[in-house]
Amino acid sequence: MGQRYDEFADWYDTYVTSGMGQPFARSADRLLERLLGPGADRLCLDLGCGGGAHVPALTGLGWRVTGVDISARQVDLARRTGITATVANAEDLPLADQSVDAVATIMTTTDFDDLPPVFAEAHRVLRPGGRLVVITSHPCFGGAFVERDTHGSCIVHPGYRRHERIEEHPLLGDGIRSRVGVVNVPLPALLNALTGAGLILHETAEDDGEEPIPTLLGLTAIRPRQQLDDLSTPHEQPPTSAMTS
Ligand SMILES: C[S@@+](CC[C@H](N)C(=O)[O-])C[C@H]1O[C@@H](n2cnc3c(N)ncnc32)[C@H](O)[C@@H]1O
């Protein structure tokens, strides 16, 4: 089955590597460096790798990289960067349990149809103690319903709370979003999908770009070394001395 990005993969590749999207891609690379850190030849899964725009940053940090993307054309482009890359759905990764040291997913959370199963898969393939780094359009200042003026001011239009795929809207502009649509993900939906997968939120960061208001949000979440208790179940109260006497 053809995927949304198949038709636009080459256009998108030019956009992020040498076009209008390049400053945002470089901002994302700086966030990656800060949140992921050095790889020392360990293995990082680039989840939703697209054409591999962030592979140079990942390999530059010393990570070995393998990519997964649902679009065959994107995977073709990613392979040209020298990495192994596989066509697969992020909800059903062709990787063994605990087989990667890190997962980086960049500009994808507004493309995945459903985040909880994707983060559950990231948790499954991460080794205990490994980290997932998410870099995304800022849900508050870069969402589908945010308009920026030429001075960088943001107007958040009604719609911020809509958690759904938006296919057509005047605010989608004339870039990739008017071509492939966008999933509007309010901040709690993003954070709850991470923690709901059993990952522990470790660090958050915003871009240091030239815009006065951030456009990107970065998160690091760790797969704990031990399974978390079910935090949704209230713990039994320990008996008090009054109860035991
Ligand atoms: C905006 S592009 C970002 C690509 C790359 N990470 C980058 O920053 O240049 C989003 C990518 O997510 C991929 N994608 C969307 N849904 C996916 C899924 N369920 N499984 C794997 N990849 C998916 C798309 O094919 C597309 O390549």
Give me the mean pLDDT over the 92-102 stretch: 98
**Ordered domains of the chain (ranges, CATH):** 6-138+198-225 (3.40.50.150)
102-155 residue pLDDT tens: 999 999 999 999 999 999 999 999 999 999 999 999 999 988 899 988 888 999
Where is average pLDDT lowest: 1-5, 37-41, 148-152? 1-5
69 touches ligand 1 (CB under 6 Å)? yes
Q: 91 pLDDT band (50/70/90 cuts)?
A: very high
Query: For residue 160, with 0-12 CB atoms within 10 Å meaning exposed, 13-18 middle and 19 or more buried, which class applies?
Result: middle
Report how far residue 118's alpha carbon sits from residue 141's, in angstroms, rounded to the nearest whole number: 24
For tokens 């960088």, the residue is 152
Low-confidence winner among 37-41, 100-104, 179-183, 194-198 (lowest mean pLDDT): 179-183
Ligand 1 within 6 A of CB of 86: no
The predicted structure's pLDDT at residue 205: 98
pTM over 0.85: yes
- In the reported structure, the alpha carbon of residue 48 is separated from the centroid of ligand 1 by a whole-number distance in angstroms of 4
Question: What confidence score (pLDDT) does residue 243 get?
Answer: 46
